[in-house]
Structure 1
């Protein structure tokens, strides 16, 4: 299935001057910076230099062209994190085609649905995943087999030409594709890169996978512009393997989600995090108890950042050198931020409203890969779907997703406020508060709690409800507590509040009131 030629430059406003094709730009940076022969990636016992990476990407581009892939074609990339992923991703871009990474942990039906959305001409996956797809499939071994012959130069494109697309998480509906341009990576480096200040001395490791826009930036787009080394692991990390990786490879820059950091803090060896130069956290609201514990452990090396798939990476950053607790920091150049009311009118500092972002890399989601990519101009405001306020100094406080706001007794309740209060109890590992339609037809709040091992549930529930009654307005107080072993999350790790709301008054485990 062949779509329109998406190599045509799409107006995105001014972007930093780069060699149009991102792969040519990255190779040029490595040559000029003198790090072509330095290690780019470490995967198990394999160490790949920048020179080897760009040679492999060129060979991959040659193989893809031999298989009939043309500039502008979409290629679905269904590989786990690893060197094969990176060389395939860069090979696709070098050819001028469009790479679309997909979560390899999806169920077979979800992989097929992703293929239907992306409408690729080719799927690159491991041999064991072939049966999940209907389009032509090749493996990394197939691509290596087809290499040989002259390596053509990177396909010439403008910085605004489409390079890759990322799937939205689908937490509020069917996943969409957000398209990003070759020039976007330079903007990410200008924005969050100026805060992280990655150098050739850094070793980076992200537990967020590369099928995620966040993980792709962490492991590919940001370190390759700075000459750093990056550790890749095919398997999703748990607390033990992550801490082992940090120690074994002397990782200096680490990326993870708030829920993952919470699990790390519960590990007896969490003190290993102290060896990091920078610890970035993103993907969800950072619960205040987790933030407090991380700040106590890391000090100003904690970097709380915020972005979206549509933006491509972080647009707000809190730390590491200048920070304000309980916020996600200030907007990063060249982006702009504001808070508006329901009519779109900007609100004064300190007033709660709807968060909007403007900047040169924003690609709103489309339902099909063949649809014209939507790229906002830097003057257009993008609504993130978050409730927020901005203080007089420009620090942004996120209050939660607008679609997560609960209405109880006719009043708006931000679950994060209740969760932050009750989550301070050391016996609480995770907590989510959401509304429940009771059998009486009355709506009230319920606290879903993952308790620490050994906690007395009856005592804990009574304590949490007493704390809420003492500290919160009556309609913000949960009516009951239900203990669960895990919280529902989608394959990207984001919490599915709607699954908890849908649980209704009945639960498998007894309620504690």
Structure 2
């Protein structure tokens, strides 16, 4: 069988197919592309063909209907990355309901809060989490479908491309998570954007350490590969650097997705060279520190794709490479999206000027703190403010300077933390670093650096002195950290983003206690 893709747009649907329904469309892609008998997922020692996955989807859809789930009902998915997740997600879409994945590693109180925000009619949960919810809860095993299911039970709902299909929670780095809705048509736009950059091939092996309850992971492991006939490795357990490198070798992974902090840990592993065998390595989720990018480029060159997107958009909207690689930039905006950078008054700035990044396009759902239908969606001509500080050069390349909310004010002057953090992270013996402004005695403000050191580093001796001397030699005085505090780990959310509000809380505690 050829590795080139069959152009799905040229395929003729059968008369009884409603290709506006995303679950139906994906099965149609597999049938017309000729990969129904290929492996869609590898989980442990099991291999699941596309045909088997879609057969399970139809049976699960019928079981959901028999439980009374109807169009526009919310179904909360509290499941690890697994074939059960994929099947349940697509079955919910098949009957016109709305799938809402939730982070299974959340505290019980957060799980119940997610249930309330989603206004879920049903929770499909892993057995270990079943008791954490208040509403009606079933396990995937309860949805296998009885033998007497009729075609009517599992028939797809006649939705439109604008009908809500799924919703994802934002990561909540700056406050309470919001629920962002996406439609049955959005996945085709994701494929037009980042899918055209990836050019996944039939049978190509993909693996994402970002879980499917996040927009990034959902696209990586479900929405993108199922449109192209790729094979995805699923690991229900949360990965660490050793297990991820083992998966890459054992399964012959060619496309890998991770976050900057995860790549940093992989690079510190003795078997980091395995990354060099990838066809593509994608990094997203937070700003990629320059020292980490430099080390990855040494292994991968143009095969490293630094991309950027949000839960509100659904997946990537910016990408650097592989056809055009400019180190440290985020590349260009991907069609069908557009961008601009504005000042505090909302006016576009000139090329090269720093401002707030805005995106327009067809898939943007700003998010709600309580579920409601119809959910709020931006029109293709409306602008969404991402919260990133950015500049765009005169040839259209985008450079991110971190989150607008992350800017620290020192002596009345704005400091972009990533500039300082990149410098510190490049020092031998430093694994990770984050800086934060501290109001000290006499209301004087200066920076403090929180540093995670490599094992064996002389943290309070030579390393602290080196950090001080390197920053003094390279930065304007107000950007130089006044002190360094060594910590075992930086506060991060489940997507790997630094929780700067927690850092600021550490500073406040220090000020109230010892300073």
TM over 0.5, shorter chain? yes
Please, which of 261, 275, 280 is the counterpart of residue 263 of structure 2?
Answer: 261
Taking the aligned partners of 2:80 and 2:508, their CA distance within structure 1 comes to 39
CA RMSD of aligned residues (A): 1.6
Structure-to-structure mapping, 1:315-330, within 5 angstroms: 315-330=317-332
SS for the counterpart of 1:503 is helix
Alignment check: 8 A CA contact 1:21 1:157 kept = yes
Residue in structure 1 matched with residue 14 of structure 2 by the alignment: none
Residue in structure 2 matched with residue 9 of structure 1 by the alignment: none
Alignment check: 8 A CA contact 1:164 1:179 kept = yes
CA 1:505–1:31 in structure 2 vs 1: closer, same or farther (change >3 Å)? closer
Please, which of 291, 294, 297 is the counterpart of residue 293 of structure 2?
Answer: 291
Please, which of 420, 428, 434 is the counterpart of residue 430 of structure 2?
Answer: 428
Please, which of 485, 492, 496 is the counterpart of residue 493 of structure 1?
Answer: 496
Alignment check: 8 A CA contact 2:319 2:330 kept = yes
Structure-to-structure mapping, 1:66-465, within 5 angstroms: 66-144=66-144, 146=146, 148-151=148-151, 152-370=154-372, 372-457=374-459, 458-465=461-468
Question: 1:380: Cα distance to partner?
Answer: 0.4
SS for the counterpart of 1:124 is strand
Matched, 1:471 2:474: yes
Question: 1:438: Cα distance to partner?
Answer: 2.0
Question: 1:128: Cα distance to partner?
Answer: 2.0
**Alignment size in residue pairs:** 494
Question: 1:493: Cα distance to partner?
Answer: 2.4
CA 1:58–1:269 in structure 2 vs 1: closer, same or farther (change >3 Å)? same
Deviations 1:355-410 (A, max 9, x none): 00000000111011125311111100100000000011111000010000000001
Taking the aligned partners of 2:345 and 2:510, their CA distance within structure 1 comes to 40
Taking the aligned partners of 1:505 and 1:174, their CA distance within structure 2 comes to 21
CA 1:410–1:256 in structure 2 vs 1: closer, same or farther (change >3 Å)? same
Question: 1:321: Cα distance to partner?
Answer: 2.1
Unaligned runs of 5+ in 1: 1-17
Question: 1:354: Cα distance to partner?
Answer: 0.6
Taking the aligned partners of 1:163 and 1:297, their CA distance within structure 2 comes to 39
**TM-score, normalised via structure 2 length:** 0.94
Which stretch has the larger CA shift, 369-378 or 49-58? 369-378
Taking the aligned partners of 1:431 and 1:208, their CA distance within structure 2 comes to 22
Alignment check: 8 A CA contact 2:38 2:203 kept = no
SS for the counterpart of 1:502 is helix
SS for the counterpart of 2:287 is coil
Residue in structure 2 matched with residue 8 of structure 1 by the alignment: none
Which stretch has the larger CA shift, 59-68 or 151-160? 151-160
Question: 1:422: Cα distance to partner?
Answer: 1.3
Alignment check: 8 A CA contact 1:66 1:146 kept = no
Which stretch has the larger CA shift, 172-181 or 138-147? 138-147
Please, which of 502, 506, 509 is the counterpart of residue 505 of structure 2?
Answer: 502
Taking the aligned partners of 2:342 and 2:43, their CA distance within structure 1 comes to 46
Alignment check: 8 A CA contact 1:295 1:302 kept = yes
Question: 1:143: Cα distance to partner?
Answer: 0.8
**TM-score, normalised via structure 1 length:** 0.94
Deviations 1:181-228 (A, max 9, x none): 000000000000010110103100000000000000000000000000
SS for the counterpart of 1:389 is strand
Taking the aligned partners of 1:139 and 1:189, their CA distance within structure 2 comes to 31
Which stretch has the larger CA shift, 396-405 or 438-447? 438-447
Taking the aligned partners of 2:335 and 2:289, their CA distance within structure 1 comes to 26
Question: 1:491: Cα distance to partner?
Answer: 2.6
Alignment check: 8 A CA contact 1:59 1:147 kept = no
Taking the aligned partners of 2:138 and 2:439, their CA distance within structure 1 comes to 49
